[in-house]
Amino acid sequence: MNRRLGPWFEHTGRKLDPGLIEQLRNNRKTDPLETSNHEIPVIVHFKKEYEQAAKNNILQTCNKVSHNKLDKEFRLINGMQGYLTPAMIKQIKDDDSVERIFYDRRVSAFLDIASHHTGASQVKEQLQLTGKDVTIAVIDTGIYPHEDLTNPVNRIIAFKDLVAGKEDPYDDNGHGTHCAGDAAGNGYLSEGEYISPAPEASIIGIKALDSDGGGRLSTIMEGIEWCIEHKKEYNIRIISLSLGAPAYESFRDDPLSLTVQEAWHQGIVVCAAAGNSGPQSSTISTPAINPFVLTVGSADDNDTLKREDDSIAEYSSRGPTIDSFIKPDVYSPGSNIISLLAPDSAVEKQLPEQIINKGYIQMSGTSMATPICAGIIALMLEVNPHLSPNDIKSILQSTARPMLNDTWGYIDAVGAVNMAENYQSWRKEVTRS
């Protein structure tokens, strides 16, 4: 008796990622003969050993047929982004120059629904550190020029809009503005009441998520590449990513994971939110699954200054990762964080009861924990600009207080900054011993 093999896309080995196979399966339900012009957003990953001519042949094949287009290049992973029909995917998948084809899946901001607690305020008071001359790039929904970022000096030194191409800073969702304030708000409008760990750090807003807080892997990747390209121009030392997507594959095969890994190797500390899918285990999202980057989980301080009653926030995603790595790498406050409000934004309309004194709003999630961690890293780099991303991660983990019943503990700004200041001499002593 003959056995039926099933649809072609289920017998392609590693050529198609699981997300793309699922999309093709869904399309097959409504279009069994695959004759429609349904456009699927994809990222085509080319083999490194093939010359540009081979890539050009694929581009020509795709772009000459209507409803198919590859037009955005990602040099870091040797890939192209665009839209292809199922028929075109089937046609090019076995080309010798094609390594893999990914579904350009949706990415979303991590939102569920402080400074004193982490020790950042003590660092400011005792060591006079404020993150000055360190730049944090916040890849998110944009950034509103809030007074806490623009007075007395405008610290929004650049803005890149990958969604609508606008020149002036804006945030139609509000999530990115809150995150920027978590890292670098100076409390100007609140007379110092709502102040971040790095109130003099420079901020770059990169709008990669739309007014609904959603986007595609490719847009986030484009924002990361922009940061690498402009690293020297703006002294970008930190990228804060309060966003992510479900992780279906190893960090070695995930395009967003590979892109943040390259930024890390280029000397930029990448802080990635663990995600808000807790308390279930194995829920770390991409790009936080990457073992190099700093994955930040959220702690709940239960609105007290003592640490004895702190706990891992219920919503905070847990490890291990899909590759069985232990994550998160460190925990930071993320519950009920008061930060900057973007007027007329989606968040303002959705959470009116959370608005504080008009200029601020209270939000929770690993989205908030991540930029708070980024702000503390800015203090470390201010006191010791020579620290590498690996140095930063090692210091944060070794100084974190293990009081959350997890492998790694709660971030400690005082301990981290003190070790950062003396890190070179400390490392030499360890080497000699």
Separation of CA 378 from chain center:
17
Asked if 175 is an active-site residue, the reply is yes
The domain containing residue 54 runs over which residues?
Answer: 12-104
Residue where one domain finishes, among candidates 55, 81, 104: 104
Same domain? For 82 and 181 the reply is no
Q: What global pTM score does this model have? A: 0.90
- Catalytic pick from 182, 367, 391, 406? 367
Q: Residue 388 domain-assigned? A: yes
> At 204, which CATH number?
3.40.50.200
Asked if 45 is an active-site residue, the reply is no
Ranges of H-type helices in 128-269: 147-150, 175-184, 217-229, 231-234, 255-265
- Count how many domains the chain has: 2
pLDDT tens-place values along the chain, 433 residues long:
455 567 898 888 889 999 999 999 998 888 888 788 899 999 999 988 777 777 888 999 999 999 999 998 998 888 999 999 999 999 999 998 999 999 999 998 876 534 455 666 677 677 789 999 999 999 999 999 999 999 999 999 999 999 999 999 999 999 999 999 999 999 999 999 999 999 999 999 999 999 999 999 999 999 999 999 999 999 999 999 999 999 999 999 999 999 999 999 999 999 999 999 989 999 999 999 999 999 999 988 665 555 566 788 899 999 999 999 999 999 999 999 999 999 999 999 999 999 998 899 999 999 999 999 999 999 999 999 999 999 999 999 999 987 666 667 889 999 999 999 988 655 544 444 4
Q: Residue 431 domain-assigned? A: no
Are 187 and 195 in contact by the 8 Å Cβ rule? The answer is yes
Same domain? For 94 and 67 the reply is yes
- Catalytic pick from 17, 104, 112, 140? 140
Residue where one domain finishes, among candidates 72, 104, 136: 104
Same domain? For 201 and 306 the reply is yes
The residue to which tokens 């019943």 are assigned: 405
Are 114 and 298 in contact by the 8 Å Cβ rule? The answer is no
* Spatial separation of the C-alpha atoms in residues 141 and 124, rounded to whole Å: 29
- Catalytic pick from 112, 175, 218, 298? 175
Same domain? For 18 and 130 the reply is no
Residue where one domain finishes, among candidates 76, 104, 132: 104
Asked if 140 is an active-site residue, the reply is yes
Same domain? For 97 and 114 the reply is no
Same domain? For 202 and 226 the reply is yes
Q: Residue 432 domain-assigned? A: no
Are 206 and 104 in contact by the 8 Å Cβ rule? The answer is no
Phi, psi of 14, rounded to the nearest 5 degrees: -95, 5
Same domain? For 118 and 222 the reply is yes
